[in-house]
Amino acid sequence: MTDTRLTPLAASLPSTIPFVAPERIEAERGTAFAARLGANELSFGPSPKAITAMTDALSGIWKYGVPENEPLRTELATHLNIAAEAVTIGEGIDGLLGILVRLYVGAGDAVVTSDGSYPTFNYHVAGAGGVLHKVPYKDDFEDPKALIAKASEVGAKLVYLSNPNNPMGSVHNAQTVQSMIDAVPEGCLLVLDEAYAEFAPDGTTPQIDTSDKRVIRFRTFSKAYGLAGARIGYGISHPEIISGFDKTRNHFGVNRVAQAGALAALHDHDYLSEILEKVDQSRARIAKIAQNNGLIPLPSATNFVTIDCGRDGDFARALLAALSARGVFVRMPGAAPLDRCIRISVGLPLELDILSECLPLALQDARDHIDKT
């Protein structure tokens, strides 16, 4: 029975856990995955300097973190060559998206995204009672023109673009994104999710202009910096938009170990360069493994490779299950026609050896399964 104390909106929402954790699948299987290649994490791990900084910070864990996230906020601003007032730090992009939606979306407000794009944003919109309008991908790319046209048509408060894109790995160049910013309709804000920006080729991210109130950008320490479990990311925008976050954010939400780790990671440029090299190699190897099995790897500007399995969503889901049964954790896009693909995150050489061994067998399992049904 529904708890009558819930708001009507909360009562109308399903209680779901949209991301099934690999740990939960492992508990159900009774064994650990041999290759964890599904959550777009960085299995190479964070900078050793970040690990040292976090280890050192542990003995001070009895203290609250600094609510303004200093000195990280100022150092990030210096790194980006902008004012500290143009940066807000929070519990990963996911947490920041929640605050943003709470600030801008009320019951019945229109919001626009792409059908099949990063889903966490959508959960926040549902939680605020917003009305989500979805635009199809165009040839596996999010479609900036269609997103803007839809935002104009429905009078959207927010329009979301993940660039580089999860789940397809595709990317628009800076010019295209800047044209999108320039076309944002009056009364709307472009939410530019740049979680994978560090992996993308030069020329992907438009110049940061914090005098522009039409866009807010989000970046994270979860991907290229290998700190997904620490939960720390940041938003960049006009200081007026950024100061809005202080209205409702959880001021002690970012823990001090994460603050210390992010600061050290930010300063370790050599390690980041090494990581980008490893990610490049890993992406190339995943692509090769896919090709060796008659599958089509899509070009990637991220730390994963999306692989077109050449059939429909049922086949890709069967392949995912077969890989999982053989000890390889991967994920896949949730909406058609993107769900003809599986998405494989970069991994350690040993994990890719296992993928290489398991993929042909899993493909046969999936074909057998589909033929039987």
Ligand X SMILES: Cc1ncc(COP(=O)(O)O)c(C=O)c1O
- Minimum distance from residue 17 beta carbon to ligand X (Å): 15
Least separation in angstroms between residue 274's CB and ligand X is 21
**Encoded amino acid at 132, one letter:** L
Using CB under 6 A as the binding criterion, the count of chain residues that bind ligand X stands at 13
Smaller CB distance to ligand X: residue 180 or 358?
A: 180
Contact 34, 351 (CB under 8 A): yes
Give 274's contacts (C-beta < 8 A, 6+ positions apart): none
- Rounded to 10 deg, the angle between the 269-292 and 349-372 helix axes is 30
If one asks whether residue 93 binds ligand X (CB under 6 A), the answer comes out as: yes
Q: Which of positions 147-186 make contact with ligand X (CB under 6 A)?
A: 162, 166
Neighbours of 294 (CB within 10 A): 10
Q: Binder to ligand X among 69, 170, 222, 303 (CB under 6 A)? A: 222
d(Cα 238, Cα 259) in Å, to the nearest integer? Answer: 23
Our finding on whether 94 is near ligand X (CB under 6 A) is: yes
Q: How far is the CB of 14 from ligand X (least distance, A)?
A: 22
Look at strands 328-329 and 35-36 and give their pairing.
parallel
Give 214's Cβ-side CA count (13 Å radius): 14
φ and ψ of 279, to 5 deg? -65, -40
- Asked whether position 195 contacts ligand X by CB under 6 A, the answer is yes
Question: Please, what is the minimum distance in Å from the beta carbon of residue 172 to ligand X?
Answer: 14
Q: x-or-dash pattern for ligand X, window 296-335, by CB under 6 A?
A: ----------------------------------------
Q: Which of 164, 159, 222 has the alpha carbon at shortest distance from 191?
A: 159
- We find the least distance from the C-beta atom of residue 41 to ligand X, in angstroms, to be 9
Q: Which stretch binds ligand X (CB under 6 A): 1-9, 69-77, 91-99, 318-326?
A: 91-99
Segment interacting with ligand X (CB under 6 A) among 87-95, 269-277, 310-318, 353-361: 87-95
Return the number of the residue (206 or 233) whose C-beta is nearest ligand X.
233
Name which of 44, 31, 23 is nearest 345 in CA terms. Answer: 44
Token code pair at residue 132: 């989500």
Nearest one of 23, 42, 41, 44 to 33, comparing CA atoms: 23
> Which residue of 220, 259, 300, 303 would you call a contact of ligand X, by CB under 6 A?
220
- Hey, which residues between 33 and 72 contact ligand X (CB under 6 A)? 40
* CB of 192 or CB of 295, closer to ligand X: 192
Q: In which residue are the tokens 């890989």 written?
A: 323
Query: Which residue's Cβ has the minimum distance to ligand X?
Result: 92
- Out of 109, 140, 193, 268, name the contact with ligand X by CB under 6 A: 193
Nearest distance in Å: CB 96, ligand X: 8
Residue 218 phi/psi, 5° resolution? Answer: -125, 135
Place of tokens 């061994």: 357
For the chain, the C-alpha Rg in angstroms (whole number) is 21
- Applying CB under 6 A, the residues found at the interface with ligand X are 40, 92-94, 118, 162, 166, 193, 195, 220, 222, 228, 233
